[in-house]
Amino acid sequence: MNRLKGKRILITGASRGLGRQLAIDFAREGAAAISITARRAEDLLKVRDEISKIAPGTSVAVIAGNLANQEEIERIVAATLAEFGGHLDVLVNNASVLGPTPMPYLLDYPLEDFREVVNINLIAPFLLIKKALPAMIESGGSIINVTSDAGQTGYPGWGAYGISKFGIEGMSETWAAELEEWNVRVNWVDPGDMNTKMHREAEPDEDPTQWANPADVTDVFIYLASDESKGATGQRFQAQEENWALEEVEVVEEG
- Residue positions annotated with a catalytic role: 161
Q: In what order do the strands lie in the sheet with 185-190?
A: 59-62, 33-37, 8-12, 90-93, 142-146, 185-190, 236-238
How many CB atoms are located within 10 Å of the residue 227 CB?
15
DSSP 212: B
Q: In whole angstroms, how far apart are CA 59 and each of 26, 47, 71, 94, 142?
A: 11, 12, 25, 20, 19
DSSP 153: S
Bridging pattern class, strands 185-190 and 236-238: parallel
Strand pairing partners for 190? 238
